[in-house]
Amino acid sequence: MTTKVSTKLGHLGRCRDLQPSFVNPPVWRGSTVLFPSLRSLLSKDQDYNYGRHGTPTTRALESLLKELDGPLAHGVHLTPSGLSAVTTAVLSVMRPNDHLLVVDSVYQPMRAFCDTVLARMGVEVTYFDPRLSSGIRNLLRPQTKAVYLETPGSQTFEMQDVQAIAEEAHRVGAFVIADNTWATPLFFRPLEHGVDIAIQAATKYIVGHSDALMGVIAANSRAWTAVHDMHSALGLSVSPDDAYLALRGLRTLELRLKQHERNALTVADWLEKQPAVAQVLHPGLPSHPDHALWRRDFSGSSGVFGVVLRPSPFPCAEALFDGLQLFGMGFSFGGYESLATYVTTEGLRTATPWSDKGHLIRLQIGLEDPEDLIADLSAGLERFEAARECAA
């Protein structure tokens, strides 16, 4: 019966079998699970056997998340942060002397993990042009164990042709891993485009209220055993309180995403017309170089995008940021409130250059009235222009 996503978000993951009366599942706390007999203690197929392996609250969340990633999701694991979902997914398939291809626009902490932990493990990492598409075949080697994607990149917003890349990767037997934090499965279902392991920072849109950290790994049947074994071996678990918050966030995910989308497009459209702005990096805008790819594969856009300002000395960016009233200055995104961050372009790329000389800022457009947000940005751009004139 629960076929449409809005209905699933309202009805699944409610533990109706364990407590039929209240609408929401309780926060089930527990490490130890007691068994009625020695036989059941030693049995391998109880529903619950130890808190680290899951409680009714975390299982409720997993079951709803698995539905969202679609029928190709063989299983879902929760991790204590988005970054731990990234690193667990990668560790689950990489062995010493393997080769890993990573998109050059990748989330910076993933790059740090590659350059430290994976390097120490003897894994060779090659970063590739985010717009390479099937040209990736020239970089694939017999030792290539996985290709890592993030589309769009959460700092510079290039999109990848996931299907074309997955086809090439699978030809040499490599896994495809994709970070789907920006779109969530409501706007893009990676497993249906050839991805084997899809991860999300649930911290962002799923939790949605800037009050908990969590990661999600969804794997297809080919990758599931590897992911499951690594997740167990690392001893990862999430608190039932955070699982409850993520479940609560999911109930309004579709509504919030649609509002983030509308608000972000309104603000992005306005920014494109401002003389202080050199470029707006939003795949949902027709001016974006990957707009056609976004239209082909995605059913919506979220609330995060980049803005390149006209080249100017650093104090001009300071003048813009330091007087913002509604935009908080801080990392992360996906909460109900708007945020602005400054992206440091130094060391951002190693395979493809980032040649824009202007300051790169990233905006998360929250659920506030977009007119108020535009007024805040408009005042910011006036301060920016005034500082630029002084500097000239």
Name the site residues for ligand PLP (rule: CB under 6 A): 81-83, 86, 107, 150, 154, 179, 181, 201, 203-204, 213, 215, 332
Whether residue 179 lies in the annotated active site: yes
Q: Determine the Cα–Cα distance for residues 106 and 90; give it in Å rounded to an integer.
A: 13
CB 257 within 8 A of CB 206: no
CB 238 within 8 A of CB 58: yes
- Residue of 179, 196, 297, 376 marked catalytic: 179
Whether residue 48 lies in the annotated active site: no
- Residue of 66, 107, 111, 383 marked catalytic: 107
Work out how close the CB of 328 gets to ligand PLP at its nearest, in angstroms, rounded to a whole number: 16
Work out how close the CB of 203 gets to ligand PLP at its nearest, in angstroms, rounded to a whole number: 3
- Residue of 52, 141, 222, 357 marked catalytic: 52
Task: Choose between 82 and 130: whose C-beta lies nearer to ligand PLP.
Answer: 82
In sequence order, the β-bridge partners of residue 144 are: 99
Whether residue 59 lies in the annotated active site: no
Residue of minimal Cβ distance to ligand PLP: 82
Work out how close the CB of 109 gets to ligand PLP at its nearest, in angstroms, rounded to a whole number: 7
Work out how close the CB of 359 gets to ligand PLP at its nearest, in angstroms, rounded to a whole number: 20
Task: Choose between 290 and 385: whose C-beta lies nearer to ligand PLP.
Answer: 290
Here the tokens at position 80 are 């204590």
Task: Choose between 179 and 192: whose C-beta lies nearer to ligand PLP.
Answer: 179
Work out how close the CB of 210 gets to ligand PLP at its nearest, in angstroms, rounded to a whole number: 11
Task: Choose between 203 and 220: whose C-beta lies nearer to ligand PLP.
Answer: 203
Listed in order, strand segments (DSSP E) in 104-154 are: 124-128, 144-150
Q: Write the burial class of residue 269 (CB in 10 Å: 0-12 exposed, 13-18 middle, 19+ buried).
A: middle
Whether residue 107 lies in the annotated active site: yes
Task: Choose between 57 and 87: whose C-beta lies nearer to ligand PLP.
Answer: 87
Here the tokens at position 389 are 């004139």
Between the alpha carbon of residue 36 and those of residues 129, 253, 284, the distances in Å are 57, 40, 56
Q: Determine the Cα–Cα distance for residues 52 and 229; give it in Å rounded to an integer.
A: 14
Listed in order, strand segments (DSSP E) in 167-276 are: 175-179, 197-201, 215-219
Give residue for tokens 């027709």. Answer: 286
Active site residues: 52, 107, 179, 204
